Amino acid sequence: MPQLGESCIWCKAPTDNSDVSHVLPECFGNRDAQVLPKGTMCRSCNNYLGSKIEPALVEDPIIHAICVTLRVVDPGDANVFRDRLFDQDHKPVAPPQRNVQLNLTIRADALELEASYEVKGTIRRAFDRRWVARFSRAIHKLAFESFVWLQLRPDAKPAALDLFAESFRPIRRWVRYGEPHGSVRPLVRMPSSSVTHQWEPHLWGFDRHFALELRLFGDWLAVSLTSPHGEVQKHLTGWCSESGRPAWLIGESFGPLAPGKGSGAA
Ligand SMILES: [Zn+2]
C-alpha cells in the first residue's frame, strides 16, 4: 500500500525527491508557512506541475492583481514578483486612466508633498477551455496539497484519512494528467473586492465527500476533493449555493453558481 512520505501523492510512484515542496508556490512569498515534507511527491510530478500547471495561477487576472497589490517578493531572487498591474500578459482593453493628486505645503524649513496616484483599467480574459483547464488543475493542486498539509497537522480533523484512497483518484488524475481530457473539473469562486494577507485552507465534510475552501489573499475558491467528475458541478452547487454571496462556477463555461445568484452570466 502506498504510504505518505514514501509514495508520491500524485502518481503513487516511490518518491525520489529529497526536496520539501511548498503548497503555495514560493513566488507568492511562501517560505515556510505551508510546506510538505520530503518524499511527499516525486521529482517528475513536482517539476511538471511547477512548470506547466502552476503558471496558470498568475495568468489569472485576479491572482495577478492581488500579487501586484501585495507587492509579493520572490524569495528566489528577492525581486518584487509582480510589479505592474498592466503588462504584456495582462493588457488593459483600453489605455489605463492615471489620476495623480499632489498637495504641496511649504513650511519654513521644508517642502511637504502629499501625493496619491491611481491607475485604473480593465483586464479581460476571454473563455479559453485550455487555459481554464490549466487554471482548474492549478487550483485543485493547491487544494489537494493544502488538504495533505492539514492532514499532517497534529490537530487534523478528521484525522488519519487514507490520502491514497480511491475516492481521491479523480482529483489526482485531473491535476496530474488532465483526465478526462477535453473537460474542465469545475470549481467555485467568490471574488472579493478587497485584498488581505490571509491565506488559509478549510476542509468541509458532506456525507462521504470532502470539499476544500481556499482563502487566497481575499480571493475565495472551493473545490470538491472527492466527487467523481460527472457529479462535481451538482455537488458544488448544492454545497455553495446557500451562502447568499455571489458565487461563480468556473467549468466548461463561466456562470453564476445557481439561478438568481451571481450578477449575470458571462
Ligand atoms: Zn509523482
Given a contact cutoff of 8 angstroms between Cβ atoms, the answer to whether 45 and 10 are in contact is yes
Phi-psi region of 129 (alpha: psi -120 to 50; beta: other; left: phi over 0): alpha
Kind of pairing between the strands at 219-224 and 209-216: antiparallel
pLDDT of residue 32: 67
Within 8 A by CB and 6+ apart from 15, the residues are 5, 6, 7, 8, 39, 40, 41, 42
Cα 172 to middle of ligand 1, angstroms: 10
Cα 3 to middle of ligand 1, angstroms: 13
Angle between helices 169-177 and 129-151 (to 10 degrees): 130
pLDDT of residue 11: 94
Cα 120 to middle of ligand 1, angstroms: 43
Bond from prior residue into 180 cis (ω within 30 degrees of 0): yes
* Spatial CA neighbour of 209 closest among 171, 243, 182: 171
pLDDT of residue 22: 80
Given a contact cutoff of 8 angstroms between Cβ atoms, the answer to whether 209 and 224 are in contact is yes
pLDDT in tens, the chain (266 residues): 888 888 999 999 999 767 778 887 766 666 667 888 888 999 999 999 999 999 898 889 888 888 787 766 665 666 666 668 888 888 999 999 999 999 999 999 999 999 999 989 999 988 899 999 999 999 999 999 999 999 999 999 888 899 999 999 999 999 999 999 999 999 999 877 788 877 889 999 988 899 999 988 888 999 999 999 999 999 999 888 777 777 899 998 888 886 544 444 43
Cα 11 to middle of ligand 1, angstroms: 4
* Spatial CA neighbour of 143 closest among 196, 197, 200: 200
Cα 45 to middle of ligand 1, angstroms: 4
Q: CA-CA distance, 144 to 24, in Å (whole number)?
A: 11
Q: CA-CA distance, 168 to 110, in Å (whole number)?
A: 65
Cα 7 to middle of ligand 1, angstroms: 8
Question: What percentage of the chain's residues is helix, strand, coil (to nearest 5)?
Answer: 30, 25, 45
Please provide residue 148's backbone torsions phi and psi, each rounded to the nearest 5 degrees. Answer: -60, -45
Given a contact cutoff of 8 angstroms between Cβ atoms, the answer to whether 27 and 57 are in contact is no
pLDDT 10s digits, 32-78: 678 888 889 999 999 999 999 998 988 898 888 887 877 666 656 66
Burial label, 124 (beta-carbon count in 10 A; 0-12, 13-18, 19+): exposed
Three cell numbers, residue 44: 517528475
Cα 15 to middle of ligand 1, angstroms: 7
pLDDT of residue 30: 65
pLDDT of residue 266: 38
Q: What's the whole-model pTM score?
A: 0.88
pLDDT of residue 259: 52
